[in-house]
Amino acid sequence: MVNTQSKGKYHKTTFSPPKIDNISEELTNNKSYPHSKDFTSSPDFLEKMENITNNYLNYWKEQVITNLNPIYQFNNTKETENYISFNEDLIPLLKEAPKTINKFFPNYEKLILEYVRDSEFDFGNLFLYISTNCSTDEAIERIKKINRALFNSEHSKALPKIIIYVKFHQV
């Protein structure tokens, strides 16, 4: 269940996880499982547990991305979403970053997240672009201040996983 309430530029969203009632009872009472202590090694059991785990992981990923969508524009969407979901320590930083960015770029147009894969190496980087029309020198100083503020935050351990840049637009 998703409940979204608009509050200005951002949305507050609450979620209710899917219910799986009495899963152990369902698994142990199923006639296809032997009623012994090692029923958990049964292929049916393992397959069912893998499906349950995948469903919860997909649900979690969907909810995280749903929470970030009102804040950020996603470029290279699938790769960006996958990178964020596999680096879950980024999520609190991504939630905190707009507040910090707004202190130094109060008139930014939008925030863009984009995962860019390096063709020469077998890895990529997540870029957070701040769309603004301020001067280059001013933008460089503001980016330095944002990085210092985020470095001093409680979510600083995720900072090496994201690169903050500025995209300039014409007025």
* 85-94 per-position pLDDT tens digit: 888 888 888 9
Q: Which of 116, 165, 115, 162 is nearest to 139 (CA)?
A: 165
Q: How far apart are CA 114 and CA 23, in angstroms?
A: 39
- Is residue 14 domain-shared with residue 47, that is, in the same domain? yes
pLDDT for position 53 = 72
Q: How far apart are CA 39 and CA 30, in angstroms?
A: 11
- Is residue 90 domain-shared with residue 134, that is, in the same domain? yes
Which residue among 13, 39, 65 closes a domain?
65
pTM: 0.62
How many domains are there within the chain? 2
- Is residue 107 domain-shared with residue 36, that is, in the same domain? no
Task: Label residue 104 by pLDDT band (50, 70, 90).
Answer: very high
- Is residue 160 domain-shared with residue 92, that is, in the same domain? yes
Q: Which amino acid, one-letter code, is at 17? A: P
Give burial (CB, 10 Å; 0-12/13-18/19+) of 83: buried
- Is residue 59 domain-shared with residue 127, that is, in the same domain? no
Q: Which of 128, 138, 1 is nearest to 71 (CA)?
A: 128
- Is residue 90 domain-shared with residue 160, that is, in the same domain? yes
Which residue among 46, 65, 84 closes a domain?
65
> Which parts of 61-109 are beta strand (E)?
73-75
Report the CATH number that the domain containing residue 81 is assigned in CATH.
Answer: 3.30.300
Which position has the token pair 């009472």? 29
Q: How far apart are CA 116 and CA 108, in angstroms?
A: 22
- Is residue 108 domain-shared with residue 60, that is, in the same domain? no
Mean pLDDT of 38-48: 69
3 state DSSP class of 166: strand
Task: Label residue 22 by pLDDT band (50, 70, 90).
Answer: low
Q: Which domain holds residue 128?
A: 73-168
